[in-house]
Amino acid sequence: MQTDSYLESSMITIIQTFHKYSGQKYKLKKAELKQLINNEMNHFIMENDTLDELFADLDQNKDLEIDFKEFIALIAMVTSACHELFTLK
Amino acid sequence: MQTDSYLESSMITIIQTFHKYSGQKYKLKKAELKQLINNEMNHFIMENDTLDELFADLDQNKDLEIDFKEFIALIAMVTSACHELFTLK
Residue of B6, B8, B69 with shortest CB distance to A80: B69
Which pLDDT tens digit goes with each residue over B33-77? 999 999 999 888 766 657 888 898 999 999 999 999 999 999 999
- Asked if residues B16 and A10 have their Cβ atoms less than 8 Å apart, the reply is no
Which pLDDT tens digit goes with each residue over A62-73? 999 999 999 999
Whether residue B7 and residue A17 make contact (CB cut-off 8 A), yes or no, is yes
- Asked if residues A21 and A32 have their Cβ atoms less than 8 Å apart, the reply is yes
Q: Which helix (DSSP H) or strand (DSSP E) does residue B16 occupy?
A: helix B6-22
- Overall pTM surpassing 0.95 (yes/no): no
Query: Which chain A residue has its CA at the smallest distance from B84's CA?
Result: A68
Selected for mutation to probe chain B from A36, A79, A85 (highest B CB count within 10 Å) is A79
What single DSSP character describes residue A2? P
Whether residue A76 and residue B78 make contact (CB cut-off 8 A), yes or no, is no
pLDDT at A89 over 80: no
**Average of per-residue pLDDT across A26-43:** 93
At residue A46 the predicted structure's pLDDT band, cuts being 50, 70 and 90, is low
All domains of chain B, ordered by start, with CATH? 6-88 (1.10.238.10)
Which is higher by pLDDT, A82 or B3? A82
At residue A78 the predicted structure's pLDDT band, cuts being 50, 70 and 90, is very high
Q: Which helix (DSSP H) or strand (DSSP E) does residue B80 occupy?
A: helix B68-87
